[in-house]
Amino acid sequence: MNILILGYGKMGKIISEIAESRGHSIAAKINIDNKSELDNLDPKTVDVAIEFSQPESAVENIKWAISNGIPIVSGTTGWLNQKPELDKFTISNNGAFFYASNYSIGVNIFFKVNKYLAKLMGEQTDYNVSLEEIHHTEKKDAPSGTAITLAEGIIDQISRIENWKLSDELINNEQSLPIIAKRIDPAPGTHIVRYQSEIDDIEIIHTAHSRKGFALGSVLVAEWIKDKKGVLSMDDFLSF
Say whether 105-207 and 2-103+212-238 share the same fold.
no
> What is the residue extent of each domain of the chain?
2-103+212-238, 105-207
Q: What is the pLDDT of residue 142?
A: 84
Calpha distance 210→197 (Å, rounded)? 33
Q: What is the pLDDT of residue 117?
A: 98
Q: What is the pLDDT of residue 173?
A: 58
Q: Which of 139, 182, 191, 212 is catalytic?
A: 139
Calpha distance 146→69 (Å, rounded)? 28
The verdict on whether 136 is a catalytic residue reads: no
Calpha distance 200→122 (Å, rounded)? 16
Calpha distance 184→146 (Å, rounded)? 17
DSSP 187: -
Give 113-140 pLDDT, tens digit per residue. Answer: 999 999 999 999 999 999 999 988 877 7
Asked if residue 96 lies in contact with residue 86, where contact means CB atoms within 8 angstroms, the answer is: no
Q: What is the pLDDT of residue 240?
A: 55
The verdict on whether 226 is a catalytic residue reads: no
Residues 6+ apart with CB under 8 A from 105: 213, 217, 238
The letter for the amino acid at 116 is: Y
pTM for the whole thing?
A: 0.79
Select 105-207's CATH number: 3.30.360.10, 3.40.640.10, 3.40.50.2020, 3.30.590.10.
Answer: 3.30.360.10
Phi, psi (rounded to 5 degrees) for 160: -75, -15
Phi, psi (rounded to 5 degrees) for 91: -65, -45
Give 63-95 pLDDT, tens digit per residue. Answer: 999 999 999 999 998 898 999 999 999 999 999
Q: Which of 63, 135, 191, 206 is catalytic?
A: 135
SS3 215: helix
Q: What is the mean pLDDT of the chain?
A: 92
SS3 66: helix
Which superfamily does CATH assign the domain made up of 2-103+212-238 to?
Answer: NAD(P)-binding Rossmann-like Domain (3.40.50.720)
Positions of the chain with pLDDT lower than 70, given as ranges:
169-174, 240
Q: What is the pLDDT of residue 48?
A: 98
Q: What is the pLDDT of residue 139?
A: 78
